[in-house]
Amino acid sequence: MERAREIAPIWMLLCCGLAAFWGFSIGLASPKGLADYKGLYYAARSLIQHCDPYKLGEPLRIYQREGGSHSQPSDDVRTVLTRYVYFPPAFVLTAPLALLPPGPAQLLWMVLTAGCLILAAILIWDLARDDSLYISLFLICFVLANSEILFATCNVAGIVVSLCVVAVWCFIEERFMPIGVLCLAVSLAVKPHDAGLVWLVFLVAGGVYRKRALQTIAVNAALAVPTIFWVTHIAPHWMQELHSNLLVDLSPGGACDPGLSFSSGNGPSAILDLQSTISVFWDDPRIYNSTSYLVCGALLLFGSLRVRRSGLTRDSARLALGSVVPLTILMTYHQYVDAKLLMLAVPACAMLWAEGGLTRWFALLITTASIVSTGDITLTALQILTSILQVSTAGLSGKLLAVVLTRPAPLILLTMAIFYLWAFIRRAPDLERPVGPKRSGQESLVSVPAHIEVVS
């Protein structure tokens, strides 16, 4: 067992290294590569040069003026550079990067993406290894090995998700609290729809967890407010421009459209929210949006009330995160790159596996299915399969087949959310009493020593 504990990080490094090498090779060789990074970098360059990054085509103009690696960018890169869709606090992360020349900045971003992801993987494995070393290692390695698209595009989700995972580890293990608070604050600033519900779990839980959540939002405000003033000074109409950019992407056929217009119904959608599955049956935003919000909102409300009533211990926190992570992906716009957030569900799966019984097998099945169905290699395989089969959405049977072949992930994620919510509620009465961490030398989260309550 000790030998396995020593080798496990090597397996994670190997899986992440192979995915990074493959993904970065594709990104550097293809005109479409590193598209998401370019959008972030040149939007920040625009702001530093006192230009409006939210103005239509402004980052593209900066890109062409500074001599991008391709004088005529591909359609994907042009789309990203034309419309900037992040809120001003995202510049907390990207503005320092934009002070560097394009070459060093790109290299630094690639190193940060890979480094943060492997750090997050090792920390989440550290939370799960005492319950099931091999199961947790298998699931985490599969996540890492299916990150080629993340590395090829250099999407900021790689860093944002990793920072969120680091924060969760710090909060649950009661170690390096200031680092955890700062990581979650930056994650919320850049992609609040990735880390928002995770933060909400800690806020609702009360006690020391609520204290960490409030400290996080205070640090987030300290980072965001100056950035918003800076952006407003340079681009006073940024809110209207951002709204217009988002409307274009969410319109039928847009990059963020969960409906059939984006893929014409005969190809796999990279969008994972529940709307993308409902739209196969009712391709009307008023229907698939309201239905998705109703289903996910009801589950979230029910879980929040239970967390508020019972609080969280080290064990119940893992089950709560196992439920809220798939709900995060389902409620709002998310793509496959954001699904690396499913690493946060691995400790819950390992915990149920260690308890034995029939539940352990369902936990392993649904967690594995969620990770596999949202993997980058799986998406590529679905694209090849559906291009051969030419799936049609005509009739009920055609719609069902289209969901199974092109959009299976949202239904699997919904099943996962319901299962872990059930597991949390079923065990909550037993977990309400103080339960000490399994590792020696640590205190229960219910009774925390005063010397670790203070965060500078």
The alpha carbon of 323 is separated from its chain's Cα centroid by a whole number of angstroms, namely: 14
Q: And the tokens for 99? A: 């002070």
CA distance 359 to 320: 16
Task: Encode burial over 254-286: b for 16+ CB neighbours within 10 A, e otherwise.
Answer: bbbbbbbebbebbbbbbbbbbbbbbbbbebebe
DSSP alpha helices (H): ranges in 235-313? Answer: 238-250, 260-263, 274-281, 285-310
In 3D, which of 296, 302, 307 has the Cα closest to residue 329? 296
Burial, 384: exposed, middle or buried (Cβ in 10 Å; 0-12, 13-18, 19+)? exposed
Residues 6 or more apart whose Cβ sits within 8 Å of residue 303: 320, 323, 324, 421, 424, 425
d(CA 401, CA 389): 11
Name the one residue in this structure whose structure tokens are 């793509």. 335
- H-helix or E-strand spanning residue 382: helix 376-389
3 state DSSP class of 271: strand
Q: What DSSP element (H or E) covers 16?
A: helix 2-29
Give, in degrees to the nearest 5, the angle at Cα 156 between 238 and 11: 170
What per-residue confidence (pLDDT) applies to 250? 79
Beta bridge partners of 114: none
Per-residue pLDDT of the chain (456 residues; tens, 9 = 90+): 677 778 889 999 999 999 999 999 998 888 777 889 999 999 999 999 999 999 999 999 999 888 655 556 777 788 889 999 999 999 999 999 999 998 899 999 999 999 999 999 999 999 998 899 999 999 999 999 999 999 999 999 999 999 999 999 999 999 999 999 999 999 999 999 999 999 999 999 988 999 999 999 999 999 999 999 999 999 999 999 999 998 888 777 777 778 776 544 445 567 889 998 898 888 888 898 999 999 999 999 999 998 988 888 888 899 999 999 999 999 988 888 999 999 999 999 999 999 888 999 999 999 999 999 999 888 888 777 766 766 666 778 778 877 887 788 999 999 999 999 999 988 765 544 443 344 444 433 333 343 333 333
**Number of other residues whose CB lies within 10 A of the CB of residue 306:** 17
pTM over 0.85: yes
